[in-house]
């Protein structure tokens, strides 16, 4: 897994994206371990083309249908993808439950600098809202961690 | 007015303490989270990548077994 390389490529190609999901939780301080990196991305055509160019060097293959090409047509017809890439598993999300599309998600993002790269990362509050909306058993432990991180940050400010 | 200003933060603090106590009882590593909050994003990433490498090593060892 090489999230730094992916973030660098997304920035180089001026992709509009927000780091979301478990990896955003890690950057926010969670002790969670995830084997993929989730991004919410803008779905205008220019951004889709930039996204394709950014990811092309990682040889993305759509899971579970490797026979379907990951191209503009695929991106126009679907918004959510799980990709196997040379940099690890990447989830692309055009829409986040509980939050909405990129334009809504980016409003709940915070700017982080990771390995010298600036990126938008979903806030703790945004992560809590999205994980609560999913209501999945597998997210319960992470949700507890996120709420605790939020409380610790507020405690520091109170 | 002064009373309201001085009690509100302590009420909030109490609520936060209660939430953290409940989380601790539910198995959340509060001290670990406090430590993580003291780290920079780069340090959090380093820590995560190390933990992930151990997990992947353990998964591979399990498969070999």
Mean pLDDT of B30-57: 93
Nearest C-alpha of chain A: how many angstroms from B54? 11
Provide the pLDDT for residue B55.
86
Q: How far apart are CA A81 and CA B21, in angstroms?
A: 38
Name the token pair of B21.
């106590």
Q: Which is higher by pLDDT, A139 or A122?
A: A122
pLDDT tier for residue B10 given thresholds of 50, 70 and 90: low
- What global pTM score does this model have? 0.90
Residue with the two structure tokens 């509980």? A98
Q: Report chain A residues whose CB lies below 8 A from the CB of B42.
A: 114-115
What DSSP letter does each residue of A61-130 carry, written as one string? EEES-TTS--SHHHHHH-S-EEEEETTEEEEEESEETTTEEHHHHGGGEEEEEETTEEEEEE-HHHHHHH
Is the pLDDT reported for residue A110 higher than 60?
yes
Is the pLDDT reported for residue B3 higher than 80?
no
* Interface-testing mutation among A5, A29, A34, with chain B (most B C-beta atoms within 10 A): A29
Map out the domains of chain B as residue ranges. 2-64
Is the pLDDT reported for residue B11 higher than 80?
no
Rounded to whole angstroms, what are the CA distances from A74 to A49, A67, B38?
Answer: 12, 12, 42
Provide the pLDDT for residue B5.
40
For chain B, say whether A112 makes contact (Cβ under 8 Å): yes
Q: Do B45 and A3 touch (CB under 8 A)?
A: yes
Provide the pLDDT for residue A155.
85
To 10 degrees, the CA torsion angle through B46, B51, B54, B58?
Answer: -160
Provide the pLDDT for residue B35.
95
What's B8's DSSP letter?
Answer: H
A141, closest residue in chain B (CA to CA): B28
* Phi, psi of A101, deg, nearest 5: -90, -175
For chain B, say whether A35 makes contact (Cβ under 8 Å): yes
Residue with the two structure tokens 């990362």? A121
ipTM over 0.90: no
Residues in B whose CB is inside 8 Å of some CB of A read: 9, 12-13, 16-17, 19-20, 23, 26-30, 32-34, 36-37, 39, 41-42, 44-45, 48-49, 51-52, 55-56
For chain B, say whether A111 makes contact (Cβ under 8 Å): no
Cβ pair A113, A7 in contact under 8 A: no
Q: Which is higher by pLDDT, B1 or A77?
A: A77
Q: Do B28 and A27 touch (CB under 8 A)?
A: no
Q: Do A145 and B52 touch (CB under 8 A)?
A: no
The model's pLDDT over A18-56, given as tens digits with 9 standing for 90+, comes to 999 999 999 999 999 988 999 999 999 999 999 999 999
Q: Is domain A3-157 in CATH 3.30.460.40, yes or no?
A: yes
Mean pLDDT of B19-40: 94
Residues in chain B, total: 65
Q: Do B16 and A158 touch (CB under 8 A)?
A: yes
């Amino acid at each position: 897994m090489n999230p730094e390389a992916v973030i660098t490529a997304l920035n180089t190609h001026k992709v509009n994206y927000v780091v979301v999901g478990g990896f955003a939780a890690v950057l926010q301080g969670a002790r969670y371990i995830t084997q993929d990196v989730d991004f919410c991305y803008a779905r205008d055509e220019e951004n889709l083309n930039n996204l394709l160019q950014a990811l092309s060097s990682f040889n993305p293959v759509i899971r579970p249908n490797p026979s379907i090409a990951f191209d503009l047509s695929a991106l126009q017809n679907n918004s959510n993808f799980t990709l196997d890439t040379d940099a690890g598993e990447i989830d692309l999300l055009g829409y986040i439950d509980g939050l909405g599309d990129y334009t809504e998600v980016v409003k709940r993002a915070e700017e982080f600098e990771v390995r010298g790269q600036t990126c938008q990362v979903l806030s703790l509050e945004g992560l809590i809202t999205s994980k609560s909306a999913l209501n999945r058993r597998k997210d319960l432990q992470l949700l507890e961690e996120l709420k605790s991180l939020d409380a610790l940050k507020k405690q520091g400010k109170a | 007015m002064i009373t309201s200003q001085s009690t509100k933060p302590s009420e909030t603090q109490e609520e936060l303490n209660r939430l953290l106590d409940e989380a601790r009882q539910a198995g959340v590593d509060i001290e670990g989270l406090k430590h993580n909050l003291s780290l920079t994003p780069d340090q959090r990433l380093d820590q995560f990548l190390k933990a992930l490498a151990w997990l992947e090593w353990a998964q591979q060892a399990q498969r070999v077994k």
